[in-house]
Chain A
Amino acid sequence: MQLVLEKRAERSSTIALVSPLIAIGLTLVTMSILFAMLGKNPISALAVYFIHPLVDSYSLQEIAVKATPLVMIAIGLSLCYLANAWNIGAEGQFLIGAVAGSWLAVKTNGTEAGPWVLPAMLLLGAIGGALYALIPAICKVRFGASEILTSLMLVYVADLLLDYLVRGPWRDPKGFNFPTTAEFDPVATVPVLIEGGRLHLGGVIALIVVLAGAVLLGKTIKGFEIRVVGAAPRAARFGGFNSNQLILLTFAISGALAGMAGIIEVAGPVGHLQPGISPGYGFTAIIVAFLGRLNPVGILIAGLFLALTFIGGEQAQIAMKIPLDVTKVFQGILLFFVLACDSLILYRFKLIFASPKVSRGAH
């Protein structure tokens, strides 16, 4: 009996939909084993992770709040990945967006500035993120530098820049020397949707981004160019599409979205600029993009699921003393299974019950 991987004639659209679910299933099995090895009851641990956050309103809102940056960043990343441009530095673009938008909030702090401040901050965040993403993109196009390395390394540059600003020039004078800016004015804050709740306007923006991404990829010639350049570069050149231009474009869009997510996070749930504004949104969004099959609607669902793991992880830490790092382990295992299950879209497993016994030659 033989187990073989057989190529399909055409990619299976059923498996394309089911493969993320298989990946989630395999991840849950692996996590159960991990919990058991930590000496925890797997069933109750999984319940704390995945069921408890879904049953109270605070956690539900918190999931949406956490999903907002994940979805926005992942939509941008999916454009890059579809075009075969590997932006790994969304975390850095997120931070630079937060810094760029916060600049205006800090400058207008305590002044009579009107309601134009927040839109201007969002715009600055998007521009900052886009410009920052263009650095690796230009290096790639002009010099052939690997965008994977440059975009990743720029994450740490952004991290240190933010750290410097909040410890130095932008530090709140009345902040007891804590590394943070002053609390943003109301006009520089993203409004909440329900009085007293956590859900804010950023959630609506994320939904608009999902919709825009779906239209761009599904209906426009630009979206088609992005997909062809990634899927068949030579055919794209034959079609007259300029791959360098598309690398710049997709990096700029994804940087803008990450940057806007960054300033929304700072001007929304956090309320001021400080180190550690991101629990790794820019990296987790890579998982979200692939778990969502690089498809906008899929990314929305995947973003909510990954947000659930963040909230569940926090609750598991409180309720069961499971280390918070287990959440990162979980996300890593998930990405691994997602990529592995993707091979099932183009291939299928087949059991062969060999009829002629394989003998070792005629002797």
Chain B
Amino acid sequence: MPDSTPAAPHTGDTPLLQTIGLTKRYGSFLANEAIDIDIWPQQIHALLGENGAGKSTLVKTIYGLIQPSEGEMRWQGEKMVLSGPSEARGRGIGMVFQHFSLFDNLTVAENVALGLDGRESFKDMSARLEEVSRLYGLPLDPKREVWQLSVGERQRIEIVRALMQNPKFLILDEPTAVLTPQEADQLFTVLDRLKAEGRAILYISHKLEEVKRLCDTATILRGGRKVSTCNPKAETAASLARMMVGGEIKQVKAAANRQTTVPRLVVNDLNLEPDDPHGVRLQHISFELRGGEILGIAGVAGNGQDELFAALSGERPAQDPGTIVIDGQAAGHLSITQRRKLGAAFVPEERLGHGTAPRMRLSENALLTGHAASGMVQHGFVNTAATLKTVDRATEAFDVRKAKRDPEAASLSGGNLQKFIVGREILRSPGVLVVSQPTWGVDAGAAAVIRQALLDLAASGAAVLVTSQDLDELAEITDRIAVMFHGHLSAPMLTGEASREKLGLLMGGSTLDQKDVAHAVGA
């Protein structure tokens, strides 16, 4: 195996958990193929891989959610067959999922009680909840309802819930994806402490610097197979990335002499009440985006990014036309179709069900956003040839891989579908592009293609607004960055001057008290 470094030394002579030739087959597709992993106590073991590499399948098997097709697991040296997650929890395996399973309208304690198998009284359980959360420095008020909590606090509930079962082995699925840099640091302290207590941790991530800093061992998966087990501290981020991707990653290049021109998207004091009771109210949002420029919006998920997208796209029109101006035209009151006719294009975060109708063909999904312009509809009739042509053009320009010419959207992989969606919008040569989480859950190759396309679009004179939780992505492609917190948007700063610390503070809401200062700086 290339670039392998010996794994860190471990204590004891039997691994806590061992998988031997673990294989999971879905039809003819091998999600996991003959995977051998040894998990040792008192170690943080990273599981690295791109989307679709088989990380989720592997941990779901270990947690008893799915049954392996072949191979076996050994727990403290003995063969283990799990009938379900409750049996896994019974043995001392805990898991914190990336997508929380919490009920918004219930309190913290009620949510924890629902997730526990124990038979203790609610009162005892609440007391133990407070004790565990204090002990590990994960403060939680058991009586608060979940919808009032930040994403970081919600994650704490999941972690505390797992810790209350006193697990020997804890699995964390991309825990820092929803945290500010400072919150992530706090989490690392907790993880180090759990490790010192002798527990084993399996840490799923694709943030390589984080893994290098935190983990003792790393197992890298690619295409369902184990590529290597190594010591991440002895590797470089580049060598880890090479193992994950199986080759060099193409670097994106910004055009050298990009010129910013006239303002193409202007937002003036946009206020919007949420349409759902737990949504975020947009408050006094103002910014100006010029042609040739890429503005990034950073922030922890759930701080109003979805609401901002709905307001900018016209899915939820505003009362006052002047709040949103597209290419000099007041557009706040216009529908999404009318805004598209003004030359705006939109890429939402959710690919399936929002950006596309999953069970419809790509040509029909081309029609979904293309019907307003581009000759796809004549006298109320659909020009099928024109919709198919858009599919072909997007396929060619963005290297969309698919089994046939015009498959259903849901049958494409995440990366290929995202390339199709971005391609569908960019081929219309928009003057303004609003894109949300452009490379979320997309493989590195597709992500590079999409980021390059955004840079090229800006270079051609369009204004591009990118909302992302991935600070590295924003640093790579944007000219300026603003931070969204509790429905407020900070004043944009130049990307070169936006340090992680500065952004992290804004993402945590720290400088909200000095809003006037921030405005002064931005002016």
Contact = CB atoms under 8 A, between A and B. Distances in A.
The answer to whether A binds B is yes
Given A220-B381, A221-B381, A362-B79, A10 B407 contact: yes
Contacts of B354: 234-235, 238
Given A10-B408, A361-B80, A240 B337 contact: yes
13 contacts: A6-B27, A10-B410, A219-B382, A220-B381, A221-B382, A222-B380, A224-B364, A227-B360, A228-B360, A228-B364, A234-B350, A236-B357, A238-B348
Nearest to B82: A361
Interface string A187-230: 00000000000000000000000000000000111101001100
A228 B357 CA distance: 7
Interface of A: 6, 9-11, 219-222, 224, 227-228, 231-232, 234-240, 355-356, 358-362
Most chain A beta-carbon contacts within 10 A, residue among B72, B335, B381: B381
B81 A359 contact: yes
Most chain A beta-carbon contacts within 10 A, residue among B75, B81, B350, B372: B81
Given A235-B353, A362-B81, 7 more contacts: A6-B26, A9-B410, A220-B380, A224-B367, A232-B358, A232-B359, A238-B369
Main secondary structure of the interface of B (DSSP, over half): mixed
Interface in B355-394: 355-360, 364-365, 367-369, 371-372, 377, 380-382
A358 B407 CA distance: 38
B182 to A, nearest CB: 34
Contacts of A9: 410-411
Nearest to B348: A238
Interface string B80-107: 1100000000000000000000000000
B78 A362 contact: yes
Contacts of B336: 237-240
Interface residues of B, number: 43
A238 B359 contact: no
Contacts of B359: 11, 231-232
Contacts of A236: 357
Contacts of A221: 367, 371, 377, 380-382
Contacts of B407: 10
A227 B358 CA distance: 12
A160 to B, nearest CB: 40
Contacts of B353: 232, 234-235
B370 to A, nearest CB: 9
A356 B360 contact: no
Q: Give the 4 A-B residue pairs with the shortest CB-CB distance, closest first.
A: A240-B337, A232-B357, A239-B368, A235-B357
B427 to A, nearest CB: 17
Contacts of B348: 238
A218 to B, nearest CB: 9
Contacts of B350: 234
Contacts of B371: 221, 224, 239-240
Nearest to B77: A362
A242 to B, nearest CB: 8
A360 B408 CA distance: 42
A237 B369 CA distance: 10
A238 B346 contact: yes
A355 B382 contact: no
A228 B80 contact: no
B382 A224 contact: yes
B100 to A, nearest CB: 21
Contacts of B79: 362
Contact of B381 (A219, A231, A240, A362): A219
A222 B355 CA distance: 19
B516 interface: no
Contacts of A356: 68, 70, 72
Given A219-B381, A221-B377, A362-B79, A238 B411 contact: no
Contact of A235 (B80, B356, B408): B356
A238 B381 contact: no
B281 interface: no
Contacts of B161: none
A110 to B, nearest CB: 44
Nearest to A352: B69
A238 B368 contact: yes
A238 B360 contact: no
Contacts of A231: 357, 359-360
Nearest to A356: B70
Most chain A beta-carbon contacts within 10 A, residue among B356, B369, B382: B382
Nearest to A350: B27
A240 B340 contact: yes
A219 B408 CA distance: 18
A228 B368 contact: yes
A228 B409 CA distance: 13
B313 interface: yes
Contacts of A11: 359, 408
B275 to A, nearest CB: 12
Given A219-B382, A224-B367, A359-B81, A240 B355 contact: no
A237 B337 CA distance: 10
B376 to A, nearest CB: 8
Nearest to A225: B371
B339 to A, nearest CB: 9
Contacts of B380: 220-222
Contacts of B346: 238
B248 interface: no
B399 interface: no
Most chain B beta-carbon contacts within 10 A, residue among A10, A219, A239: A239
Contacts of A361: 80-81
Nearest to B314: A240
Contacts of B372: 240
Contacts of A360: 81
Interface string B244-278: 00000000000000000000000000000000000
B288 interface: no
A232 B360 contact: yes
Interface in B34-81: 68, 70, 72, 75, 78-81
B36 to A, nearest CB: 17
Nearest to A236: B357
Nearest to A230: B357
B377 A235 contact: no
A362 B77 CA distance: 10
Nearest to B371: A221
Contacts of B3: none
Contact of B355 (A6, A219, A238, A359): A238
A39 B70 CA distance: 53
Contacts of B75: 362
Interface in B386-434: 407-408, 410-411
A358 to B, nearest CB: 6
Contacts of A228: 357, 360, 364, 368
B315 interface: yes
Nearest to A222: B380
Nearest to B74: A362
A362 B80 contact: yes
A9 B413 CA distance: 11
A227 B26 CA distance: 30
A227 B382 CA distance: 14
A221 B369 CA distance: 12
Nearest to A355: B70
A219 B359 CA distance: 18
A249 to B, nearest CB: 13
A145 to B, nearest CB: 20
A224 B360 CA distance: 10
